[in-house]
Amino acid sequence: MVGISLFAPTSAIAACKPGGTPTYQDVTGIAVRRCGTVGFIYDTWVTSDGYLVFHGVDNTPVKGYYDGYDGRVLFAKLLRTLQDEDFFSIRLKPSPTLYVDGFCETIHVMRCGVVTSVGGLSAGVLPFEADLKDAQTLRFDALVSKMQTAIFAWPWNNEHAYPPTPAPSRTDADSRQFRFGFAQGEMGPR
C-alpha cells in the first residue's frame, strides 16, 4: 500500500505552482546516459506516468531498443536514488586538463517543467569536462553507477527492431515517410 502512494500524480503538481518550493516529488522524468570508448553505452528515459525507454548500444548486458508503459516501479527506484544521493546539490567542477576523448555520464531530471542536467564528458555535449579527481565528480559517478544497477536489473521485455535503412535510390520525399515514433514505440514506414 505504501508503494501505491508514490504514484499519485496529484501531489506532484502542488509545489510547481508559482512561488512553490520544488521537491523530489515534482520530478516527472529521469534520463540517464553513460558512454565511453570502452565502457557502457546506453540511454534510458523513465517518466512518472510509467513510460520508459532503454537503448543499449554496446558493452551493456542489455542491447537493443526497448520501451513500454510499465516503468512506475523503476521510476520510483531511480527517484529514490536521486533523493538519497541529493542529486540537486551536485556541483561538478571543470577539469584543469583538456581531454581529447573519454567517458560521458549525464543525468537529466525534469522537475516543474525544467530539465536539470548534470554530467561530465569530453565529447562536446556539455561545455566542459568534469574534474575526474574532484569529490563531487566521484559522488556523481557513484550515483550513475547506482542508477545503472537498477536500470540493468529491470526486465526489459518489449524490444523493437530498428527500421531498415532506406535504399540509396529512394528520394527525399520517400525517406520522409519513414519516422521513428519515440513516444509511441512505432517504427518503419507509415
Residue 65 is assigned to a structural domain of this protein:
yes
Write the burial class of residue 5 (CB in 10 Å: 0-12 exposed, 13-18 middle, 19+ buried). exposed
Check whether 47 has a pLDDT greater than 70. Answer: yes
What is the percentage of the chain residues whose pLDDT exceeds 90?
31
Q: DSSP string spanning 91-160?
A: -PPBPSS--SS--EEEEEEEETTEEEEEEEESSSSSSS-B-TTSHHHHHHHHHHHHHHHHHHHS----EE
Which phi-psi region, left, alpha or beta, contains residue 43 (left: φ > 0; alpha: ψ -120 to 50)? beta
Comparing 184 with 145, which gets the higher pLDDT? 145
Cell 523503476 belongs to residue: 74
Domain harbouring 86, CATH code:
3.30.1560.10
Comparing 22 with 76, which gets the higher pLDDT? 76
Residue 9 is assigned to a structural domain of this protein:
no
C-alpha 51/C-alpha 147 separation (Å) is 17
Residue 30 is assigned to a structural domain of this protein:
yes
Residue 85 is assigned to a structural domain of this protein:
yes
Tell me the whole-structure pTM to 2 decimals. Answer: 0.71
How much is the average pLDDT of 56-82? 90
Residue 134 is assigned to a structural domain of this protein:
yes
Residue 48 is assigned to a structural domain of this protein:
yes
Do residues 125 and 107 lie in contact, with contact meaning Cβ atoms separated by under 8 Å? no
C-alpha 2/C-alpha 8 separation (Å) is 11
Residue 45 is assigned to a structural domain of this protein:
yes
The length of the chain in residues reads 190
- Give the CA dihedral 134, 139, 142, 147, nearest 10 degrees: -130
Q: Which domain holds residue 111?
A: 24-163
Residue 136 is assigned to a structural domain of this protein:
yes
- Specify the number of domains making up the chain: 1
pLDDT (tens digit per residue) in 135-173: 888 899 899 999 999 999 998 877 776 566 666 665 544
